[in-house]
Amino acid sequence: MKSCKNCFSRLNEADSVCAVCKIECNKDRKTYTKEEKKISYWCRTLHIIGFLSVIGGCFGVVAGLYSFFAKTVSPILAVIDIVFAFIFVYFGLSLRKFAKWCYIAGIILYSIAVIFALLEWNILRLLFDILFFYYLASPTTKKILYREL
């Protein structure tokens, strides 16, 4: 199977237009319209956010398991952290496939993540969470994920 060069989704062999980004795959990037450049940029950004969500979720699982077995925090908090991290892994994998439910789930997940980062005074995580929230809550993301292009 061939993949789209803009959003990396699988292409139907018979069709040259991608089902996700609605950009013709044989078209040269120099001839893109302003809207097509914007869609291509946002698709790649969502793909990267999905990848980073998977990586962050994996680190969260490891940190949760460490805190559970080392008894650094309450076992209930460690289990909540592990479950939250697994949700981020699943969300990241689904976002890389441009699942429709990722728009609402991303807004909810990253809202919770921003609140947790504020409560923990984790400035670097807060900046990344706000940036990811900005991209996930945008109208362009909604158009891409709901296939309204």
The pLDDT profile of the chain, 149 residues, written as one tens digit per residue, is: 677 777 787 877 777 787 778 888 778 878 888 888 888 888 889 889 999 999 989 998 998 888 888 888 888 888 888 898 999 999 999 988 888 888 898 899 889 889 988 988 889 889 988 999 999 888 988 888 888 77
Q: Could you give the CA distance from residue 35 to residue 25 in angstroms, rounded to a whole number?
A: 15
Q: Are 17 and 24 in contact (CB under 8 A)?
A: yes
Return the number of other C-beta atoms located less than 10 Å from residue 95's C-beta. 26
Which residues are CB-neighbours of 146 under 8 A, at least 6 positions away? Answer: 100, 103
Which residues are CB-neighbours of 6 under 8 A, at least 6 positions away? Answer: 18, 21, 23, 25, 39, 40, 43, 44
List the beta bridge partners of residue 10: 3
Q: b or e along 67-76 (b: 16 or more beta carbons within 10 Å of the residue's beta carbon)?
A: bbeeeeeeee
Q: What is residue 55's predicted lDDT score, i.e. its pLDDT?
A: 94
Which residue in this structure is represented by tokens 């292009």?
A: 149
Q: What is residue 1's predicted lDDT score, i.e. its pLDDT?
A: 66
pTM: 0.84
Amino acid at the residue 56? G
